[in-house]
Structure 1
Amino acid sequence: MKKINIIPLVMGFCLCINIALSSDKPQWAQSGVCQEPDCAVGEASLKEGEMSALARALKELRLSLGVNIQAEYNENTDNNGETKADSHLKLYTSMQNLGYKILDKYQDNSRIYIKIQYDPNKKVIQNEVIPEFDTIKSLEKLCKDNQLDGYYCVSLGRKYQNGENGLAKNIDFALKYFDKGCKMGTLEGCLFAGKISDSARKSKEYFTKACDGGLGSACFEQSLLEDEITDKRDLLIKGCSGKDALSCAFAGEIYQKGLAHVQTNTSLANTYYSKSCLLDKNGDGCVLLWQSQQDWQEIQKLCDTNNAKACAITGDENNNIDLLEKSAMLDSALGYYFLARAKDSTQKMMLLEKSCALGLNGDFTKGCEELGDMYQTDDVQKVQYYSKACNTLFYEESACEKLYEIDPSQCQNEEICLKIKKQKELQQAQANEQAKREQEELRSYKVKTESHSQLSKIGAFIEMGMPVLRPNLPQLMKESSSKVGFNLKVGFEIRGKNPKFSPFVAPYMGYTRITLMDDDELEELDAPYYYNGDGMNVGMFNVGSYIGVRMGTLRAYGIIDYLVPVSSLSIDNPIDNMLGYGFGVMLDIGLRIGFQYISYDVSYYGGRVRREWYGDGGFELDRSQTYKSKNNAFMVFIGIGI
Structure 2
Amino acid sequence: MAFDLKDEKSVKEYLDKLGIEYRFGCFSERNPEACHLLGDYLEAVKKDYEKAAKIYKNNCEELNHPKSCHKIGNYTLLGKGREPENPKLALKYFNKGCDLNDPDACLHSGLMLVTNGGFDQVDYNLKKAMEHLDKACEGNNSNACHYLSGMYISGVRKGGVKSRFNANSVLQEDNVPKTNEYDLQKDMTKAFSYAFKACNLKNMYACANLSQMYARGEGTEKNPELAEKYKAIAIELQDEYRTKKQTLTFQEGLKPK
- TM class by smaller structure: 0.5 to 0.7
Which entry has the higher C-alpha Rg, 1 or 2? 1
Aligned residue for 1:281, secondary structure, equals helix
- Within a 5 Å distance, the mapping from 1:491-510 to structure 2 comes to none
CA distance in 1, matches of 2:58, 2:210: 42
CA distance in 1, matches of 2:51, 2:37: 19
Q: What stretches of structure 2 of length at least 5 have no aligned partner?
A: 1-21, 114-123, 153-184, 243-257
Q: Please state if 1:206 is matched with 2:164.
A: no
Which AA in structure 2 matches 1:281?
D
- 1:280 equivalent in structure 2: 238
- Within a 5 Å distance, the mapping from 1:342-421 to structure 2 comes to none
Shift of 1:90: 6.1
Shift of 1:224: 3.1
Shift of 1:212: 1.0
CA distance in 1, matches of 2:133, 2:219: 21
Aligned residue for 2:28, secondary structure, equals strand
In the alignment, which of 211, 224, 227 is matched to residue 269 of structure 1? 227
CA distance in 2, matches of 1:166, 1:143: 17
Q: Are residues 166 and 146 of structure 1, via their aligned partners in 2, closer, same or farther at CA, if it must alter by over 3 Å?
A: closer
Q: Are residues 241 and 201 of structure 1, via their aligned partners in 2, closer, same or farther at CA, if it must alter by over 3 Å?
A: same
CA distance in 2, matches of 1:170, 1:98: 20
Question: Percent sequence identity over matched residues?
Answer: 22
Per chain length, whose mean CA-contact separation is higher, i.e. which structure has more relative contact order (CA < 8 Å, sep 6+)? 2
CA contact (8 A) 2:94 2:109 kept: yes
CA distance in 1, matches of 2:230, 2:216: 13
CA contact (8 A) 1:133 1:139 kept: no
- 2:84 equivalent in structure 1: 168
CA contact (8 A) 1:207 1:219 kept: yes
**Per-residue displacement from partner, 1:550-608 (whole Å, max 9, x unpaired)?**
xxxxxxxxxxxxxxxxxxxxxxxxxxxxxxxxxxxxxxxxxxxxxxxxxxxxxxxxxxx
Q: Please state if 1:74 is matched with 2:26.
A: yes
Shift of 1:129: 3.5
Shift of 1:201: 0.9
Shift of 1:206: 0.7
CA contact (8 A) 1:153 1:180 kept: yes
Q: Please state if 1:236 is matched with 2:182.
A: no
TM-score, normalised via structure 2 length? 0.59
- Within a 5 Å distance, the mapping from 1:130-529 to structure 2 comes to 130-134=47-51, 136-146=53-63, 148=65, 150-197=66-113, 198-226=124-152, 227=185, 228-263=187-222, 265-281=223-239
CA contact (8 A) 1:252 1:271 kept: yes
Q: Are residues 187 and 98 of structure 1, via their aligned partners in 2, closer, same or farther at CA, if it must alter by over 3 Å?
A: same
Q: Which runs of 4+ in 1 moved over 4 A?
A: 90-95
What is the alpha-carbon root mean square deviation over aligned residues? 3.1
CA contact (8 A) 1:204 1:225 kept: no
CA contact (8 A) 2:42 2:48 kept: no
CA distance in 2, matches of 1:146, 1:186: 15
**Per-residue displacement from partner, 1:605-632 (whole Å, max 9, x unpaired)?**
xxxxxxxxxxxxxxxxxxxxxxxxxxxx
Q: Are residues 92 and 165 of structure 1, via their aligned partners in 2, closer, same or farther at CA, if it must alter by over 3 Å?
A: closer
CA contact (8 A) 2:146 2:194 kept: yes
Shift of 1:277: 2.9
Which AA in structure 1 matches 2:125?
S
Q: Are residues 96 and 238 of structure 1, via their aligned partners in 2, closer, same or farther at CA, if it must alter by over 3 Å?
A: same
In the alignment, which of 14, 22, 31 is matched to residue 85 of structure 1? 31
CA distance in 2, matches of 1:166, 1:92: 20
TM-score, normalised via structure 1 length? 0.25
Shift of 1:260: 2.2
- 1:358 equivalent in structure 2: none
Q: Are residues 214 and 170 of structure 1, via their aligned partners in 2, closer, same or farther at CA, if it must alter by over 3 Å?
A: same
Shift of 1:223: 2.1
Which AA in structure 1 matches 2:26?
N
Shift of 1:225: 3.1
Aligned residue for 1:134, secondary structure, equals helix
Which AA in structure 2 matches 1:129?
K
Q: Are residues 195 and 97 of structure 1, via their aligned partners in 2, closer, same or farther at CA, if it must alter by over 3 Å?
A: closer
- 1:50 equivalent in structure 2: none
Shift of 1:147: 6.0
CA contact (8 A) 1:157 1:173 kept: yes
Q: Are residues 180 and 134 of structure 1, via their aligned partners in 2, closer, same or farther at CA, if it must alter by over 3 Å?
A: same
Which AA in structure 1 matches 2:129?
S
CA contact (8 A) 1:182 1:190 kept: yes
**Per-residue displacement from partner, 1:128-170 (whole Å, max 9, x unpaired)?**
735224274332112125463x221111111222222333322
CA distance in 2, matches of 1:141, 1:251: 42
Which AA in structure 2 matches 1:229?
M
CA distance in 2, matches of 1:175, 1:236: 26
- Within a 5 Å distance, the mapping from 1:558-569 to structure 2 comes to none
Higher strand share: 1
